[in-house]
Amino acid sequence: MTRAAVLILLGPPGAGKGTQARMLEERFGLVQLSTGDLLRAAVAQGTPAGLAAKAVMDAGGLVSDDIVLAILKDRMAAPDTARGVILDGFPRTPGQAEALDALLAGQGQRIDAAISLDVDDAQMVARVSGRYTCADCGEGYHDQFKQPASAGTCDKCGGTAFKRRADDNAETVGARLTAYHAQTAPLIAYYDGRGVLRRVDGMAAIDAIADDLGSIVHEVTA
Ligand code: ADP
Ligand code: ADP
Ligand code: ZN
């Protein structure tokens, strides 16, 4: 890779953005930047942004652009992002997309690819409902689709404690899906208009999707 890449992973809740972002980090040395993870950390720390975001996240809505942009800009200022970033779960509204364009322009950077992971609504519900992660290293697992090789032990770190997200429940999933279709799906056309949109079949197996994404990274950073 000759220069720092800026990649966006677009897709509904459960599309596999986090799973793929972590694999891209390992393979290409890129840095995953997940606004969901940053917001959950702010909630856990009880910061003012976290306190304001918690109720919205629990209800499955989108946190205000102001809060998300402040958190994102802060993270983008850290030196490790110079290696190239994978934006996971950001932008999620047209306002965030425009703010990102302005932020990157100010740094002489641009978006290399906005990759839409396409999954249907039924698969999204199944993915979110069975999701859990290692409490120690954050590795993602799924009740049906991705179990640890040895039951109850994390493949990556050997940890034995796992957790589930409070918002991965049947009541909240509908609201998150509605928010995705209303506010985030329009970004597919936005990035298509800028000539950076790539579409990947998110219904495929994890490794097949990783291959598709790897090809895109090679192509856009060659
Ligand atoms: P997102 O970050 O887009 O919300 P995740 O990466 O957390 O999605 O994936 C949601 C759940 O689906 C996780 O439990 C993950 O293990 C599982 N998963 C991810 N990609 C696939 C796939 N291609 N096929 C089946 N299950 C998957
Ligand atoms: P997923 O892709 O599985 O829905 P995330 O971890 O990306 O989950 O997001 C979890 C929640 O955090 C969202 O439902 C929303 O409330 C909030 N959130 C994350 N990223 C953003 C964003 N870019 N803009 C607004 N809200 C966000
Ligand atoms: Zn682990």
Mutate which of 9, 10, 17, 19 for ligand 1 pocket (most atoms within 8 A of beta carbon)? 19
pLDDT exceeds 70 at position 3: no
The per-residue pLDDT for 2 is 44
Distance CA 53, CA 199 (A): 30
Residues in the chain: 222
Ligand 2 mutation pick, 63, 66, 74, max ligand atoms within 8 A of CB: 63
Per-residue pLDDT of 74-101, as tens digits, reads 999 999 998 899 999 999 999 999 999 9
H or E element, residue 162: strand 162-163
40 a catalytic residue:
no
11-20 mean pLDDT: 97
Q: So what's the pLDDT on residue 170?
A: 87
Query: In this predicted structure, what is the pLDDT of residue 147?
Result: 97
The answer to whether residue 131 is catalytic is yes
Q: Kindly state the DSSP code that residue 149 receives in the 8-state scheme.
A: S
DSSP state of 81: G
Any residues with Cβ below 6 Å from ligand 2, and which? 13-14, 17, 35-36, 39, 56-57, 60-63, 68, 89-90, 92, 96, 167, 176
pLDDT in tens, 192-221: 999 999 999 999 999 999 999 999 999 998
88: phi then psi, degrees, rounded to nearest 5: -115, 105
Is the per-residue pLDDT at 65 higher than 80?
yes
Dist. CA 140–CA 149, nearest whole Å? 13
User: Is 198 a residue of the active site?
Assistant: no
pLDDT of residue 1: 45
| Share of residues in the chain with pLDDT > 90 (%) | 95
Instruction: Answer whether 16 contacts ligand 1 (Cβ < 6 A).
Output: yes
Tokens of 98: 């425009």
Assess contact for 181 and 119: CB atoms under 8 A: no
152-185 residue pLDDT tens: 999 999 999 999 999 999 889 999 999 999 999 9
What spacing in Å lies between the alpha carbon of 157 and ligand 3's midpoint? 4
Measured from the Cα of 172, ligand 2's closest atom is 14
Q: Give the residues across from 8 on adjacent strands.
A: 87, 114
CA distance 18 to 146: 14
For residues 153 and 116, what is the distance between their CA atoms, to the nearest angstrom?
32
For residue 167, give the 3-state DSSP assignment: coil
Report the predicted TM-score, pTM, of the whole model to 2 decimal places: 0.96
Burial of 131: CB neighbours in 10 Å, binned 0-12, 13-18, 19+: buried
Q: Dump pLDDT digits (tens) for 94-144.
A: 999 999 999 999 988 999 999 999 999 999 999 999 999 999 999 999 999
